[in-house]
Amino acid sequence: MSEQGFLSIRGLTKRYAAFTAVEDLDLDVPRGELVAFLGPSGCGKTTSLRMIAGLVPATSGRIVVDGKDLTEVPTHRRDMGLVFQSYALFPHMSIARNVAFGLEMRKVPKDEIARRVKEAIALVHLTGKEEHRPTQLSGGQQQRVALARALVVRPSILLLDEPLSNLDAKLRDEMRNEIREIQQRLGITAIFVTHDQGEALTMCDKVVVMNQGRLEQLGTPVDLYERPRTAFVASFVGRTNRLASVAKDGSVEIAGQRIAAPAGLSGPVEVMIRPHRIAFAPAGEGVPGTIAKAVFAGDILQYDVEVAGQILSVELATRGGETVLSPGTAVGLSWRPQDVFVYGAAA
Ligand SMILES: Nc1ncnc2c1ncn2[C@@H]1O[C@H](COP(=O)(O)OP(=O)(O)OP(=O)(O)O)[C@@H](O)[C@H]1O
Ligand SMILES: [Mg+2]
């Protein structure tokens, strides 16, 4: 077995009658890391998070934090901070009382509560808003209150379930940076659920890609983007072209060019290449294609190129002065072998 993390999950499974929402999840999160759970709607992200928090009982599996088995421990004794998509603040209470709530429940002495609430509110940059009601704050400010409320109890693990999805794009960006900055400053171990791959890649130390209740790949953002282990990961993390082909004798053919295929692969395959990793080759070289569509988007030139009856999307960064090729123009395409991923096609 691999080295145990600060948070260690083994065989975590959730079944609802015949339906398996999460299947046999193994995961180790080192202390102080921010890990994203990334995947499409319904893949089991929230269910996994809620099992870790103890809000949903696991069908089987174990959850260990800092060497302590929490599997049978009730939620309120798991020492985890939770932040959800809806802020779920108490509308009739001031910001300070909202943040103090968890400490009051824990019967922390009054003067200590006052000090810690002040600190937590400062941490999320809301000093001065202590006596406001939640409705007097913007969405982003309310989400910061929810974050302060989770952090004030000094949880061993912070669990965030799509905390930014109710915010507009600009605020979401700001809050991403802020959450990451606070998480690193406090050195807190955290799980961040999102279906936004940009959020997962840019904010987190590691990313767990989930698909239909299973862990599809765990890795750093670079691992996932540059070395996706499955077709699902390649297409979910970053954008990619998908071409159908057939593997035979260790290689795959695209428009007359042969590409090495992974050992043991034969039959129908999917070939994936990211649009910005394709270049135009010098005249008469490369994989032959024909421009089907050209779009000048300012910072990039986007082409649809027909290659052997399939369309490849190609993106070139503009530098100024380039000619926009017209539809019908014959071109040659080239790419580096390491930028091509070949996977067995799903039956
Ligand atoms: N109480 C329940 N009873 C039956 N099925 C459930 C229950 N809760 C969740 N599920 C199912 O489990 C699957 C995983 O749900 P979950 O909420 O974990 O998905 P998610 O990855 O968080 O999706 P989203 O991105 O939409 O929030 C879904 O198919 C869902 O319908
Ligand atoms: Mg969810």
Domains of the chain in start order, with CATH, are 7-231 (3.40.50.300), 240-344 (2.40.50.140)
pLDDT on residue 168: 84
Residue nearest to atom 10 of ligand 1 (CA): 21
Q: Ligand 1 pocket by C-beta < 6 Å: which residues?
A: 16, 19, 21, 39, 41-47, 195
Residue nearest to atom 19 of ligand 1 (CA): 42
Residue nearest to atom 3 of ligand 1 (CA): 16
- What does the alpha-carbon distance between residue 271 and residue 245 come to, in Å, rounded to a whole number? 7
Q: Which residues surround ligand 2, an ion (CB under 5 A)?
A: 46
Q: What is the pLDDT along the chain (347 residues), one digit of tens a residue?
A: 446 789 999 999 999 999 999 999 999 999 999 999 999 999 999 999 999 999 999 999 999 999 999 999 999 899 999 998 877 899 999 999 999 999 998 899 999 999 999 999 998 889 999 999 999 998 889 989 999 999 999 999 999 999 888 888 888 888 899 899 999 999 999 999 999 999 999 999 999 999 999 999 999 999 999 999 999 999 999 999 999 999 988 899 887 888 888 888 889 999 999 999 999 998 788 999 999 999 999 999 999 999 989 999 999 999 999 899 999 999 999 999 889 999 998 75
Which one of the ligands is nearest to 56 CA? 1
Question: Which of 45, 166, 195 best tests ligand 1's pocket when mutated (most atoms within 8 Å of CB)?
Answer: 45
Ligand 1 atom with the smallest distance to the CA of 43 is 21
- What does the alpha-carbon distance between residue 151 and residue 104 come to, in Å, rounded to a whole number? 14
Three-state DSSP class for residue 93: coil
Answer yes or no: pTM beyond 0.85: yes
Residue nearest to atom 4 of ligand 1 (CA): 16
Question: Which of 12, 47, 164 best tests ligand 1's pocket when mutated (most atoms within 8 Å of CB)?
Answer: 47
Nearest 5°: the CA angle 42, 151, 191 is 30
pLDDT on residue 78: 92
Task: State the amino acid at position 44 in one-letter form.
Answer: G
- The closest of 120, 172, 117, 173 to 147, measured between CA atoms, is 120
Three-state DSSP class for residue 203: helix
Helix axis angle for 110-123 and 139-151, nearest 10°, is: 140
Three-state DSSP class for residue 257: strand
- Rounded to the nearest whole angstrom, what is the distance from the C-alpha of residue 316 to the centroid of ligand 1? 39
- The closest of 88, 4, 21 to 57, measured between CA atoms, is 21
Q: In what order do the strands lie in the sheet with 279-280?
A: 279-280, 330-334, 287-296, 300-307, 310-317
pLDDT on residue 3: 60
pLDDT on residue 172: 87
- Rounded to the nearest whole angstrom, what is the distance from the C-alpha of residue 171 to the centroid of ligand 2? 21
- Rounded to the nearest whole angstrom, what is the distance from the C-alpha of residue 341 to the centroid of ligand 2? 30
Phi, psi of 62, rounded to the nearest 5 degrees: -130, 150
